[in-house]
Amino acid sequence: MEPRKVQKVGYSTLSVSLPMNWTKKMGIKKGDLVFISEENDGALRLTAEPGRVEDNIVYVVNVDECDNTKVLARVIVGNYVLGRNMIKVESSRRLMREQIESIREVTQRLLGIGIIEEGDRHLLLQCSIDPKNFPLSTVIRRLYVLTSIMFKEALDALVDGDMELAKDAITREHEADTIYWLLARLLASAQQSRAVAEGIGISDSLEIVQSSLIAWFLEMIGDRVHNIALNIIRLHQFREECGEELIEWLSQIGLIAFTMFDKAVKSIFDGNVKIASDAVDLRETVEREERSLLKEFQGRTNVDVAATVSAIAWELKIIAEHSSAIAEIAIDNVLRGENDICKIDKLTPALEI
């Protein structure tokens, strides 16, 4: 933080000089416009004219410092999430085929980024996403819909024994990851730029924190559903040995967890405290049923069946925990503003005796 002394100009005008380093960085000169906005805490925010500074910075990734292609892929995803538009991947020697394939594969899983230049020792990636085209609520809803479809497919696969549905749920996880990384990029960019934040529908910095948590929980639920689908496929070979009672009980726990997840996310969009509270209450039901199921069947089935059923039940319990957290965020969202449940009232001074 750099202190600046307030000066008086004329009879009533107060002024503060602008830091030279900032004006050079932003390309501001005499006669240019700057914009001042007041924050919720009373602080003033100074920004340059929108669109003045072009993003011509290139972030260079040194392939030689990446131990393997997995590290390289994660570094590219990290740069993407941080909102960087130009990423140059370069090496001191010729890029290996495995490295190029890893770069191509990861860019195919990231929205709006592609290779625009290629040489023996480098690749130049460019992201052309305009945040204004991706309202935050729309992208979060898309991630919820994808995760919801995955969840339904996994549960239907368990009930009907249709392994194609389980495979569909597994396949959809790649698209869910793509949406999650887009969300992470939008939120990181919003944290760095007020213009981006307003463009995607964020008016309060607290929304960035809460939206990041919601996105993370949705991503984690998608991962849990992916694991459930894999275990349903493993369980299928033991279906006759399991018996209908076990399958039905496990399906019921899954249905309760799905209902909880559905209520929790809908309460985010609807701002309904009652629905959110109902979702939180269902967590105890999922945990109780999970304990009862394992206690009832672990000694009555072989080790492979018991391990697979335990894995599915445990994943459902984790989904319930994440859904409960989403519902609690929904309740906090409602309480941030004035409503029928919680209103702002001025403190009445005590009468003097």
Domain 133-335: give its CATH superfamily.
Phosphate transport system protein phou homolog 2; domain 2 (1.20.58.220)
Residues 286 and 257 sit within 8 Å (Cβ to Cβ): yes
pLDDT at 216: 97
* Strand 59-62 relative to strand 86-90, pairing: parallel
| Residue 229, Cβ density class (10 Å: 0-12 exposed, 13-18 middle, ≥19 buried) | buried
What is the pLDDT tens value at each position of the chain, 353 positions in all? 778 888 888 777 888 888 888 888 777 888 888 777 777 677 787 777 655 444 568 999 999 999 899 999 999 999 999 999 999 999 999 999 999 999 999 999 999 999 999 999 999 999 999 998 999 999 999 999 999 999 999 999 999 999 999 999 999 999 999 999 999 999 999 988 888 898 999 988 889 999 999 999 999 999 999 999 999 999 998 887 778 888 999 999 999 999 999 999 999 999 899 999 999 999 999 999 999 998 888 777 788 888 999 999 999 999 999 999 999 999 998 887 666 677 767 666 665 55
All structural domains of the chain with their residue ranges: 59-127, 133-335
For the chain, first and last CA: distance in Å?
Answer: 48
| Residue 201, Cβ density class (10 Å: 0-12 exposed, 13-18 middle, ≥19 buried) | middle
- Whether this prediction's pTM lies above 0.85 is answered by no
59-127 carries CATH number 3.30.70: no
Residues 295 and 234 sit within 8 Å (Cβ to Cβ): no
